[in-house]
Amino acid sequence: MNSEHTNYSLSGSLEAPLAPTDSINPLPRAVLRLNNHFLLDGEWKFAVDADDSGLRDGWHLGHRYEHAVQWPGSIETHLAQTKGDVTEPTLWHDKVVVWYEREFTLPEIEEPLTRSMFQLTFGACGYETQVWLNGRQLRTIEGEDVHYGEYTSFSYELREENLHLVNRLTVRIADTMDAETTRGKQESHIYKRGGIWYHTYSGAVRSVWLEMVERNRLRSRLGVDSVVEDQLVRFNLTTRVHDPGHYTLRVRVFERGGRHQPPLFTSEFPLRLEAGQKQQRVVQEMPGAKLWSPEAPNLYLLVAELVDADGYAAQIETHFGLRKIESRGRHVYLNNEPTYLDGILYQPGTATYEEMQRHMHAMQKLGCNLVRVHIAGVDPRIYNLADELGLLLWVEVPSPHTSSPRSRQNHREELLRMLALIESHPSVVIWSLYNEDWGCQDIATNPETRRYITETYHFMQIEHPQFLVVDNDGWHHISQEGRLKSDLLTAHLYTPDLPRWQELLDRLVRGEMVGTAAYPLIVGDAFFYRRQKPLIVSEWGGFGFADYGGPQAGEERTERIRQFKQELRARPIAGDVYTQATNIEDERNGIIDPHSGELSVPEGVLHSRPATDR
């Protein structure tokens, strides 16, 4: 098999030329490095392990595969192909175990593997993934024999002595209906498929690739936290070192699109690094920097290098922006200006990357400045697109479906995985820990559940102050001694009736904690609302979904949206999230075509006047 790129050597000196600024990124990642990659997408051998005997029988050592499928692709689609049905995915109802295998020819390299090594990366795969190279089990860089999770990437360093000219890569993927795992809206033993619950979409869902990386390098994980008042930006970088010694961490900031010009800012930080992985925060002053906002999505290019004692530089790059988000009084402030959040709920489902791109542009045409990505993982390039378009993002941890110590552990690990990979984006401004009690159904009665959410909220405040955090979106927010453990007081309000809508909004702005949403807005200690937190109607509409009633299409739906939006504008509310962007399975309440991205309502229908005008 031939690679698209045959030159796998990396630049060997600090004077090496830089790559073009806005090159197309073919991989599902947000942080780039100056090397070539070898995509392993395409045809793979495939087998179903119906009785889960593959490990016992040593399939990783050799197995006869009867089927061939395309990677990336879901287990459900691949199961259907084995049955000769390519029109509908095959659903499974308890547990599924499948195996994939392919061979690849090791690309040629121009220099000995003294400074560099091969790295294998899965853009996303799961829920449980095990990988073998030529019959040897691999461990992730984090030391996992089995990688858990299906929303974020993970990587393996490949030892030179285990590589052949032609290599055999074997992957075992297992998933279950276990309600303690982070499932989002995929069905489980508790929430069965139908209504708002979707069929499973698991397995080899994103690209897998081989690339050369330096033995001593920066990992493609970057956190950015800016303070606009003193024009400081804090970069959280992760070093990966095999050879202990003295290094220099160099950061250079360029104008976006101006990397062939001298850098705007440069700093160097000497480090003494031991073998292993380490996080390091460095601070860069950026006097006169332009801020990022929906009206002016100003971005800068960061080039970060880990330079060894011989002057060899291992480099990563990404775009970033300076912005500040704050919950103060009854407003959300962006860069110290009150900003009304015109939001829309977005569930990407099984949409392709190209379809998601069209969705993002369409949501902006509707007049939205905020997209709430609803308890799902998306291709990381979508965060880059939001940065470029100036769309604010509200992201959420895919929820488990039951409350237990193990489900909380899985929830926290998923949160940390997501944070590590997407905390560099100025567009990401809000995180939800839970939604409508899914995975924390005992939040009103179990102090342990409330304690976990409270501690996680405090962790986010301290470690990731660049985000606003919602404890449990929709209702049942936690109050401890009268202090809300959420930066926003959110409510999900559904009714197709305009007088009832007006009544619910009036109850909300009066601070009535009971009788407003489906459940009380506050649990724990009493909370006395005096406009000290912004009110967000974080779900409303549902027009076209039979269970909610309301107009299903046409001018009637448009007029209803306008009427309901007008009532929101007339009250001291800080933002709203219309539900929802596209149809998905049984939920037929979208206003954007899921394939073409065309609108079924007029452009600008969800736009609101600024908060300062109210």
Q: Which helix (H) or strand (E) holds 362?
A: helix 353-365
Q: What is the distance between the alpha carbons of residues 46 and 100, in angstroms, rounded to a whole number? A: 5
228: left (phi over 0), alpha (psi -120 to 50) or beta: alpha
Summary mean pLDDT of the chain: 92
Place of tokens 């990988």: 131
Strand, helix or coil for residue 100: strand
| pLDDT confidence bin for 551, thresholds 50/70/90 | confident
Per-residue pLDDT of 264-312, as tens digits, reads 999 999 999 999 999 999 999 999 999 999 999 999 999 999 999 999 9
% of the chain beyond a pLDDT of 70: 94
Q: What is the distance between the alpha carbons of residues 533 and 323, in angstroms, rounded to a whole number? A: 21
Q: Which helix (H) or strand (E) holds 77?
A: helix 75-82
Q: Which helix (H) or strand (E) holds 266?
A: strand 265-273
What per-residue confidence (pLDDT) applies to 260?
84
- Asked if pLDDT for residue 327 goes beyond 80, the answer is yes
- Asked if pLDDT for residue 12 goes beyond 70, the answer is no
Per-residue pLDDT of 172-216, as tens digits, reads 999 999 999 999 999 999 999 998 999 999 999 999 999 999 999
Beta-carbon-side half-sphere exposure of residue 418 (alpha carbons within 13 Å): 27
What per-residue confidence (pLDDT) applies to 610?
47
- Asked if pLDDT for residue 169 goes beyond 60, the answer is yes
Place of tokens 């950061």: 251
> Measured between alpha carbons, how far is residue 461 from residues 321, 425, 464, 574, 584 in Å?
20, 17, 6, 21, 34
Length of the chain: 614
Q: What is the CATH number of domain 216-321?
A: 2.60.40.10
Q: Label the pairing between strands 522-524 and 477-480.
A: parallel
Any idea what DSSP says for residue 292? B
288 Cβ neighbours under 8 A, 6+ residues apart: 231
**Whole-angstrom distance between the N-terminal and C-terminal Cα of the chain?**
63
Assign 3-class secondary structure to 468-497.
EEEEEECCCEEEECCEECCCCEEEECCCCC
Q: Angle at the Cα of 29 (from 26 to 30), degrees rounded to 5?
A: 110
What is the average per-residue pLDDT within 370-399? 96
491 Cβ neighbours under 8 A, 6+ residues apart: 474, 475, 508, 516, 517, 521, 535, 536, 537, 538
- Asked if pLDDT for residue 424 goes beyond 80, the answer is yes
Closest CA to 466 of 149, 127, 225: 225
Q: What is the distance between the alpha carbons of residues 267 and 263, in angstroms, rounded to a whole number? A: 10
**Rg of the chain over all Cα atoms, to the nearest angstrom:** 25
What per-residue confidence (pLDDT) applies to 15?
31
Closest CA to 436 of 376, 476, 382: 476
Closest CA to 129 of 99, 92, 91, 159: 99
> Measured between alpha carbons, how far is residue 570 from residues 502, 515, 519, 573, 613 in Å?
10, 21, 25, 8, 10
| pLDDT confidence bin for 550, thresholds 50/70/90 | confident
What per-residue confidence (pLDDT) applies to 584?
92
Q: Which of 87-91, 92-96, 269-273, 594-598 has the lowest mean pLDDT?
A: 87-91
> Measured between alpha carbons, how far is residue 294 from residues 67, 124, 255, 257, 335 in Å?
48, 29, 18, 19, 11
- Residue 43: count of CB within 10 angstroms of its CB: 10
What per-residue confidence (pLDDT) applies to 111?
66
- Please determine, looking at this structure, whether the domain spanning 325-592 carries the CATH number 3.20.20.80: yes
Q: Which of 41-55, 81-95, 372-386, 436-450 has the lowest mean pLDDT?
A: 81-95
600 Cβ neighbours under 8 A, 6+ residues apart: 553, 557, 590, 591, 592, 593
Higher per-residue pLDDT: 573 or 88: 573
Contact 187, 193 (CB under 8 A): yes
What per-residue confidence (pLDDT) applies to 611?
40
pTM for this predicted structure: 0.94
Topology of the domain covering 32-214: Jelly Rolls (2.60.120)
- Asked if pLDDT for residue 8 goes beyond 60, the answer is no
Domain ranges of the chain: 32-214, 216-321, 325-592
What is the average per-residue pLDDT within 484-492? 98
What per-residue confidence (pLDDT) applies to 547?
64
Contact 65, 169 (CB under 8 A): no
Place of tokens 């480090």: 271
What per-residue confidence (pLDDT) applies to 17?
30
Q: What is the distance between the alpha carbons of residues 478 and 486, in angstroms, rounded to a whole number? A: 7
542 Cβ neighbours under 8 A, 6+ residues apart: 494, 496, 548, 550, 579, 580, 589
Position 244: which residue type? P
Q: What is the distance between the alpha carbons of residues 185 and 350, in angstroms, rounded to a whole number? A: 12
Q: Which of 239-243, 355-359, 400-404, 583-587 has the lowest mean pLDDT?
A: 583-587
What per-residue confidence (pLDDT) applies to 543?
84
554 Cβ neighbours under 8 A, 6+ residues apart: none
Strand ranges across the sheet with 341-346: 468-473, 428-435, 392-396, 370-373, 341-346, 575-579, 535-541, 489-492
Per-residue pLDDT of 564-579, as tens digits, reads 999 999 999 999 999 9
337 burial via Cβ count (<10 Å: 0-12, 13-18, 19+): middle
